[in-house]
Amino acid sequence: MTDDAAAVAAFIQARLPVTPVPGLPQLCLHKADPASGVGRLADTAPYWAYWWAGGLALARHLLAHPHLVAGRRVFDLGAGSGLVGIAAARAGAAIVTASEIDVHARTAIGLNAALNQVAIAAIVGDCTAGPVPDVDLLLVGDVFYAPDVAARVIDFLDRCVAAGVEVLVGDPGRAPLPLERLTLLASYEVAEAGTARRAGVFAYRAA
């Protein structure tokens, strides 16, 4: 299928039903179901078309503790569907930027933000090799899923922390998660792909 944003948006709106987020009924997203045929969009797995444990936990944590984001400049790394950035905006963030490598996900983030009546100021691509963003808080959900990706993200997060950016991580404890750099703040039972599991919200610190 074409990468044309208008065509992708039309596909998402037609084929991915608007669905309440489990545990966060005040939010909704375009989510794939068995009839969506979302695999037609690209050869890569459409991770953005589903919700994942770390993002669910991090979004719940922000909405339960809005002081963490209220009035702050927030950056959602590996934003996927945009859930975490949307939760940050709902909780009172001054400005939210989303970063996501999948071009189709970037279209979905814009649609999902509009569904939830919040603004995502910018939706950008991969930023891990670039400069530290000019923000107060970096949110990281479900990015530690492969060793090579984890290594790249850790280097980026270390640079962010050194520059004074606070970092919060949401993850269910996948193998590449750098536990030695994390302090557990909270744990939530969430429904990832219909399966209940626990995911933690962590404060990140550089080595």
pLDDT digits (tens, 9 = 90+) for 13-36: 999 999 999 999 999 999 999 899
- How many angstroms separate the Cα of 81 from the Cα of each of 12, 47, 59, 67, 111? 12, 8, 12, 23, 9
Confidence (pLDDT) at 207: 79
Q: Is the model's pLDDT at 3 over the cut of 90? A: no
Q: Is the model's pLDDT at 206 over the cut of 90? A: no
**Which residue bears the tokens 């520059």?**
163
Burial-class residue 48 by CB neighbours within 10 Å (0-12, 13-18, 19+): buried
| CA–CA dist 183, 201 (Å, integer) | 8
pTM of the model: 0.96
Please report which confidence band the pLDDT of residue 99 belongs to, taking 50, 70 and 90 as the band edges.
very high
Residues paired with 197 in a beta bridge: 190
* CATH architecture of the domain covering 52-204: 3-Layer(aba) Sandwich (3.40)
